[in-house]
Amino acid sequence: MNAQHQSTRKQLAIIAAIFLLLALPASALAHCDTLDGPVVADARVALDKGDITPVLKWVQADDEPELKTAFAKVRDVRKLNPEAQALADSYFFETLVRVHRAGEGAPYTGLKPAGTVEPPIAKADLSLEKGNVDELAKAIASHAEAGIRERFQHALTTKKHAQESVEAGRDYVAAYVTYVHYVEGIVNAVHTKAHHGEAEAAAGHHGEAEAAGGHHGKAKAAGGHQH
């Protein structure tokens, strides 16, 4: 594998990782409301230690009083018996997730069972635990590269026959739009605000954004054309 190919794969890894996370449905991104998500995990630690500090980072400063009140009530109830403890814990999990979601401007639809987190999101969390993102980045880069190449090849093939008839020309236009929008969707994601903050990464890819953006102005999401 030459140096240029390696550089391309690294660039795709950065772009595709952000794109995949942003392109996932809202329910996938909202893994903070699952019983095995990071919010509830910190809540379990806080309850076991009797210290609310580990969960305060998940809520806005203005919401701390409500959470602290709930935590104080739960601590007393947990001492009664195992059944009461289970109910109290569940109440605190729900309160914490509801307040956290409200702080994001997102609706609370209840706690989701463990195991409902989308695999890419679970792997993103796991990479943080391991302190290494190489495996995740390579996997996403591979899928993104395959998606780009597939759409490129289809557009190139139909382009060769575009002048043969109106129908053939329309086939090319459809393939062209699919290809360009897929690329634009990736570039747009790099320069779009992320779920919990700003994804202003990939500063070195501004040239790519300008090149892809020239086709249709504002980049459109890949939508139904995702690989």
Per-residue pLDDT, 9: 55
Per-residue pLDDT, 26: 42
pLDDT, one tens digit for every residue, the chain (227 residues): 555 555 555 555 544 544 444 444 444 345 677 888 888 999 999 999 999 999 999 999 999 999 999 999 999 899 999 999 999 999 999 999 999 988 888 888 888 877 666 777 778 877 888 899 898 888 888 888 898 999 999 999 999 999 999 999 999 999 999 999 999 887 777 666 544 444 333 334 444 434 344 444 433 333 344 44
Per-residue pLDDT, 208: 41
Closest CA to 227 of 149, 136, 119: 149
3-class secondary structure, 34? strand
Other CB atoms within 10 A of residue 131 CB: 6
Per-residue pLDDT, 8: 52
Cα–Cα distance measured from residue 33 to residue 42, given in angstroms and rounded to the nearest whole number: 12
Burial of 50 from C-beta contacts in 10 A (0-12 / 13-18 / 19+): exposed
Residue owning tokens 């040239």: 207
Per-residue pLDDT, 6: 57
Quick one: tokens of 176?
């062209």
pTM for the model: 0.50
Per-residue pLDDT, 203: 39
Q: Which helix (H) or strand (E) holds 209?
A: helix 206-213
Cα–Cα distance measured from residue 7 to residue 4, given in angstroms and rounded to the nearest whole number: 5
Q: Structural domain boundaries of the chain?
A: 3-24+131-225, 28-104
Question: What are the backbone dihedrals phi and psi of residue 50, each rounded to the nearest 5 degrees, phi first?
Answer: 70, 25
Per-residue pLDDT, 222: 38
Cα distances (angstroms) measured from residue 227 to each of 24, 88, 175: 12, 44, 14
Per-residue pLDDT, 3: 57
3-class secondary structure, 58? coil
